[in-house]
Structure 1
Amino acid sequence: ALGGAPGSTWYGKVTAITSEVAVIKKADVGMDAVAGDEYKVKFKHKWAAGDGVQGFRFEIHQALGPIQRIVYYPINAWTEESFRFTATNDGAVQIWVDLGGVTNNLQLDQFSIQEFIPYWKRYYELLAVMPDSKGPYHVTLAGVDVWQGEEDEGWYYAKAAQPGPPPESNPPAHPAEVVFFDPNKTVPSGEDVIISYFTEQVPEEVVADLLVLAGITDELETTATEIIIDQVWFKEGTTCLEAIKMLCERCNYRFHFKYDGTPVFKLKPAVDAEVKFTFTDPKHIASINTYQDRSEIKNRI
């Protein structure tokens, strides 16, 4: 019996039974393979009842003969299988399911055969399409987030080129600045891959952006730092003020607000040898006329 699992999608599927005893055979699954190219087969199977005592043989054939034969032992639950094969000639691919002495009701569904591109050929050159890139920080596949380094599913980034060894080795040969997926991840052809990447930033512009993010729209009073940072990012939970403090430490700048509320981001004042003011009498310090109230504290936030 074919079917059972809802939402079946397929590239080719078993739809005909020939005269061979206990063999389901589809002579042409609707694709013309190219000799030497690699393809990936996926399908699901289950017994309508019973468990994995009895098995069946799944085969891939072409005109030159069998290419792949694998024996599976289904259980009473849908199980997904996948394997790869290399076409031996140009032309149709045949799927054979040899039931042998099976007496259980075998269910098969969701057959697909897709071209398989080895992972050492599946990389994205950032500099080829994004020459201003300073490295990736987020990737989506078909609109779904993919996390860096996640086992079997994640993406990876290689900054330096790898001229060798041969491509089948690990790591594979590749140019500089590439993003690639885990070798075990399925990446359907035609799906959108969106790579978000870092670009060069100057600290004073980052401070201005942080102020806007914090709701402060007053124009920032600043001087050029003449510093360029390739990647600017902050850990989740970092406040805008904490982020600005980090930038101050990086640039040896100081951040404060003037009396009228204008934000200031400027180089740390240098020590001046010239004396600007001298107390000429002890009473100057004790005078009731010498004071500073809260409105005059320049770093009041």
Structure 2
Amino acid sequence: MGTTKNPSPKIKVPKNSQENRTLKEGLIEDDNDDIAYLNFQLIWPVSAMSLVSVFFMALAVSTMEVLPHLEGSPTAGVRVATYGRVATLCNNTNPFEDGMYPSILRQAEMKVTVNVFFRVSVCVPMAIRIFLAMVIRNSFRDEYLCATKSDFLWFLNELTTVLSAVEALCLALFSIITIRFDYPDVYRYSFCTFIFSTIMHMYLRTILSFTTTENTIKLLDKISMSVKCVSAIIFSWMASQFFYFHQDFIGHVTCHGYVHYWNAINEYCLILAYLFFNLTFIIDIRDLRFICYPRTSSGEC
């Protein structure tokens, strides 16, 4: 009497993220969104926080001095500058000249109002930015890495989250710490770490965005990828010049917050590239939701 051999079960490997989602249908347990305490798209709180950050940065820029706060034409050398009740030495070997433009980071060091608005713009959204980095990491891992099974891409995806957190923390540090009255060495290390971690984060996240399969890319995704790529190139190019220029300022604080035309343009382009790169994350999370339902909240079975 012959025996029949049971055929081994066929395992279908998804070819892309869309097929991966289709195969998962019916195998994912109910998320109880009908009884959720919280159920909203992440794009709304993230957009609101981005507007707050941009608004306070605009206030910082609008409150910068447009005229030198040193009257007359001071001679070169070391001078005593007063800031309220505090007096400190400043290096005036590069005195103010006609045609100079305000530097945002130097003005944040020199003027209290600019410093306060700059701190709020940077520090208030810091927790949201770190949370967003983890959300984007998980989203990319679930949507694309499950289909590709690439250990190298998985490592890069995890690394971008760490770099994003380091970037946000270092930016907050050198926005809070002043060179003249706090810890100039901590400011220097924070600034250097911010520049290098930001460049690495920008390029890695851009590379990962280009690894997505062609049939899953929509128009908004293409816009996001393009802006990321251009912003990363501009930021890294400008940072290579601005890095040493600002390092010199940290070591020899001048008596005014103005720089020559091309140095100012360099800094403005650097900040705008950084701003637009981070704003693209709003596009990346447009379909993600935050859901909090009873089982997660109270431990019910």
User: TM-score, normalising length from structure 2?
Assistant: 0.17
TM-score, normalised on structure 1? Answer: 0.17
Computing the radius of gyration over CA atoms, which structure comes out larger, 1 or 2? 1
Q: Counting helix residues as a fraction of each chain, which structure ranks higher?
A: 2
By percentage of residues, which structure has more strand? 1
